[in-house]
Structure 1
Amino acid sequence: MANLFVRDLREIAQGLPENPSEWPHIPCPTCKRAGLTLVPDSLVHEEAATSEAAYSHQEWYPDWIYGGFHCILQCHKKTCDRVRVVGRTSVYLERNEEGYQTLFSPLFFMPELPLVESFGDCPRLVRQRIEAASTVLWADPSSAANRLRSAVEALMDHHGIPRRGFSNAKSYDLSLHRRIERFKTVKPEYAQAADLMLAVKWTGNAGSHGSAIRVSDVLDAVEILDRTLHYIYDTSAEEIRRKAADIIARKGMPASQFTNLPMPPF
């Protein structure tokens, strides 16, 4: 099943339109069910002083304008936390003849937006590192990618894959790549998950080495890691198979009636 949070975040990454009624679905980090809406009169945006100073430049165009914004979002559920948003503004020329429009590009959500709907029996440290990636996703995608990579390291720790190897009575550090390969050998039933983890590792490596990681690249890694956790920790498929087998055995008869049937004579 597709990760719907990632779908929403990809739309947000394109920037929020000037008209808040046109904003995409922004998932609530508290209930993870409803969408957030703008608290009335909470949206504040202003042009930067350095942007205004550029007006006198002989080659100035409106798309040079930039600034910042902040606002508050709320869920329709009163028990959910409000979300503070801070970001940048820019100006672009709308192609449908509406002229120049302001675009809001978020840098921080507090609390952070969710990346994964359900972690199942996933270890706490793995979950914490994935959630930590969300806190910096918009402002520093490279750091977010590296935090997802560290979640894979924690996953290897949880499964007892050592961080160090031994050769000729000497120990040496095992790279994450080698650890994933060892995991695949030791637990072949998770071979598909191991192959997916390599992709997350490579994205994290690129972020560490200064490559131009984008939000979309991180969201790709999130989808892959989400599927990895599904392969390893999601037991819902087995539960559904058990229920189906039980219904077949009862030939569809409700369980409550089945248990109340008289016992046949010996």
Structure 2
Amino acid sequence: MLLCNRTFCGEVVTVAGTYSSHEHFVPVGEDDDHEAVTDYSYIPYSIRPAPLMIEEPKGLNAEVRTHLRKAYDLFWTDLASCANRLRIVVEYLLDQLGVPREAVKGNRKSVRLDLAERASLLAVARPGHEKTLTALRYVGNAGSHEAKGEFEDIMDCFDLLEDVLKELIDRRSEKLEEKADRIIASKGRPKPRTGEADGN
């Protein structure tokens, strides 16, 4: 059992796992004396509730957030399942962004779109995220269909997901560009007060 020591938190977390120990000797004093020291390595297999892996935008809806929190849990127990859950997060993220799950195709029947097709639709309205979504989809597919998940790949996917959430939900780059445009428009000068002339 672990207890968070952050002020105003104190959350209790359960951790299960294994450990190994390694004993070695370190010099003590100036008489060639040595002292035995034991180092421990801990490998967690489960952490509940799991720590947040990324910063979550405030505008993220409940469905996306729920699946993201499940991905945090699965990270410690099953990397392949975590990869699959990250793929599900992308599906629900596209839902939040209004990307349809179905479309009418040539025979005028409504057909279900796969994740690649949905990502392509998003690329028309919000370009610039195709590589990130493709990477998340590939890792998710490997977890879903091949029961494979690599630690480094999953960590990279969390980084990629954090960035794409900030862009698509918080619109970080757009907001920064708006700030730059405002400063450029004013030539870096403060807004004039009421009654003051705005000189060039």
User: TM-score, normalised to structure 2's length?
Assistant: 0.75
Please tell me the residue identity of whatever aligns with 1:81. E
Question: What's the counterpart of residue 112 of structure 2?
Answer: 173
Deviation readout 1:99-137 (Å, 9 max, x if unpaired):
874321012222211122231423332222112100111
Distance 1:154 1:252, change over 3 A: same
Please tell me the residue identity of whatever aligns with 1:113. P
Contact 1:73-1:85 within 8 A present in 2 as well: no
Contact 1:89-1:103 within 8 A present in 2 as well: yes
- Once structures 1 and 2 are overlaid, which stretch shifts more, 194-203 or 158-167? 158-167
Contact 1:114-1:131 within 8 A present in 2 as well: yes
Structure-to-structure mapping, 1:206-245, within 5 angstroms: 206-242=142-178, 245=182
Distance in 2 (alpha carbons) for counterparts of 1:89 and 1:134: 21
Question: What's the counterpart of residue 199 of structure 1?
Answer: 135
Question: What's the counterpart of residue 76 of structure 1?
Answer: 6
In structure 1, which of residues 139, 145, 148 is the aligned counterpart of residue 86 of structure 2?
A: 148
The alpha-carbon deviation at position 199 of structure 1 amounts to 0.7
Distance in 1 (alpha carbons) for counterparts of 2:187 and 2:123: 39
Match status 1:90 vs 2:20: yes
Question: What's the counterpart of residue 16 of structure 1?
Answer: none
Deviation readout 1:53-98 (Å, 9 max, x if unpaired):
xxxxxxxxxxxxxxxxxx413223143413222212235687x9x7
Distance in 2 (alpha carbons) for counterparts of 1:125 and 1:177: 20
Identity score, percent: 26
Contact 2:3-2:11 within 8 A present in 1 as well: no
Please tell me the residue identity of whatever aligns with 2:149. I
Please tell me the residue identity of whatever aligns with 2:119. I
Distance 1:206 1:263, change over 3 A: closer
Please tell me the residue identity of whatever aligns with 1:149. R
Distance 1:93 1:167, change over 3 A: farther
Distance 1:237 1:224, change over 3 A: closer
Distance in 2 (alpha carbons) for counterparts of 1:251 and 1:93: 62
The alpha-carbon deviation at position 234 of structure 1 amounts to 2.3
User: Between Structure 1 and Structure 2, how many residues are aligned?
Assistant: 187
Please tell me the residue identity of whatever aligns with 1:143. S
Question: What's the counterpart of residue 30 of structure 2?
Answer: none
Question: What's the counterpart of residue 130 of structure 1?
Answer: 68
The alpha-carbon deviation at position 153 of structure 1 amounts to 0.6
Structure-to-structure mapping, 1:47-58, within 5 angstroms: none
> Which segments of 5 or more consecutive residues in structure 1 lack a partner in the other structure?
1-70
Question: What's the counterpart of residue 57 of structure 2?
Answer: 119
Distance 1:118 1:78, change over 3 A: same
Question: What's the counterpart of residue 96 of structure 2?
Answer: 158
Distance in 1 (alpha carbons) for counterparts of 2:85 and 2:108: 33
Question: What's the counterpart of residue 106 of structure 1?
Answer: 44
